[in-house]
Structure 1
Amino acid sequence: MRRWGQKNGDTRAKRAALYGMLVALAFLLSYIETLIPAFFWVPGMKLGLANLVIVMALYLFGWKGGLAISFIRVLLVAFSFTNLFSLYFSLAGAAASLLVMAGLKRGGGFGIIGVSLAGGTAHNIAQLCVAAALLGEGVLYYLPVLLAAGAVTGFCIGLACREILKRLPGMKSRD
């Protein structure tokens, strides 16, 4: 199946350049997010701006493209702005989010907004599981707040992604 941006004359170099631009955009959005103070009363809570790029990659290039961009972004951000401890949280959240989003997208019963919403909540649940394993079960009281935050940010990211994809040449609305 051909993905967005693929034509008969596409080269590997062109595809690598597209992936590189998306990795750079995700990295930039992650950096911008580090400049925004933590939200509400939940330590470490973020908007998940870089997930906009991951959801777009999932719809443009499939799960393999989303996985590649997500993994590279997580590594770049961890080595640039955080530490090895944070890498565990990021990898768990990114993997769970992508797994859930790819499964729901493949199932076909959800649009971009629903897929992104589920990805946002899966991300927070996975990170909370890592926190519980490392710090103890006391952190589980964050669950209701993190579920709500993941749903709201996932919805907003999905809405933005849907609108961006509508405006890309050759793309049809997925919702």
Structure 2
Amino acid sequence: MRQKENRHKRLGTKKISGIGLMIALAFVLSYIESMIPINIGIPGIKAGFSNIVVIFAMYVYGPFTAFGIAIVRIILVGFTFGSLASLMYSFAGGMLSFFVMFILKKADIFSVNGVSVAGGVSHNTGQIIVAMLVLKTKLLIYYLPALIISGTVAGVIVGIAGGLLIKRIGFVIRSQT
């Protein structure tokens, strides 16, 4: 009986340390992303590298763990590299993105890549909605087509990277939990 309890404690410790590493990786990827200048005349376009971690966590650790990682990353990055406004936009985009990805993954009709693309597009959509509410203008909707394209491109890249990681190392983590 005692051996079984010790085994569960070790697995819990491994999972907790893995989640901590995921948060740190998402934070570092966000930092790297903030150093890459993407200036095509439309504010808010980013590569979304830290979402690789969220996609990976959703498929390997489960949606609740991925949700926690997403929340912690948004808060850490917002307070470290951004402002209250950027935190608000990131939170809105991140939460809409997460819930869309969660629903599509649960429906099990899309690949990792499809779920990721939907996440990228919905992230940008959530940010535009909040910007329209905060700035009290509907004119920002004209940014949406460009943001949908950028969200699709970023979603494909994140989906490919996340899918490869899930396939290559996800089974190792699943076998330990």
TM over 0.5: yes
> Helix, strand or coil for the counterpart of 1:41?
coil
Question: How far 1:17 sits from its partner (Å)?
Answer: 0.5
Q: Which runs of 5+ in 2 are unaligned?
A: 1-6, 173-177
Partner of 1:138 in structure 2? 139
Query: Structure 1, residues 126-157: CA drift from partner, whole Å, max 9, x if none?
Result: 00000111112121110100011101110111
- Aligned residues with identical type, % of pairs: 39
What is the rounded CA distance, in whole Å, between the counterparts of 2:170 and 2:161 in structure 1?
16
Partner of 2:45 in structure 1? 45
The answer as to whether partners of 1:38 and 1:44 remain within 8 angstroms in 2 is no
Partner of 1:126 in structure 2? 126
Partner of 1:62 in structure 2? 62
Partner of 2:166 in structure 1? 165
TM-score of the superposition, structure 1-length normalised?
Answer: 0.89
The answer as to whether partners of 1:96 and 1:126 remain within 8 angstroms in 2 is yes
> Helix, strand or coil for the counterpart of 2:171?
coil
Question: How far 1:12 sits from its partner (Å)?
Answer: 2.3
Question: How far 1:169 sits from its partner (Å)?
Answer: 5.8
Partner of 2:149 in structure 1? 148
> Helix, strand or coil for the counterpart of 1:48?
coil
- The alignment yields a C-alpha RMSD, in angstroms, of 1.5
Question: How far 1:39 sits from its partner (Å)?
Answer: 3.3
Question: How far 1:8 sits from its partner (Å)?
Answer: 5.8
Paired residues in the alignment total: 165
What is the rounded CA distance, in whole Å, between the counterparts of 2:71 and 2:85 in structure 1?
16
The answer as to whether partners of 2:120 and 2:151 remain within 8 angstroms in 1 is yes
Higher mean displacement: 53-62 or 9-18: 9-18
Partner of 2:107 in structure 1? 107
The answer as to whether partners of 1:128 and 1:140 remain within 8 angstroms in 2 is yes
Q: Which runs of 5+ in 1 are unaligned?
A: 1-6
What is the rounded CA distance, in whole Å, between the counterparts of 2:171 and 2:73 in structure 1?
26
Partner of 1:81 in structure 2? 81
Question: How far 1:10 sits from its partner (Å)?
Answer: 4.1
Higher mean displacement: 101-110 or 131-140: 131-140
Question: How far 1:163 sits from its partner (Å)?
Answer: 1.3
TM-score of the superposition, structure 2-length normalised?
Answer: 0.89
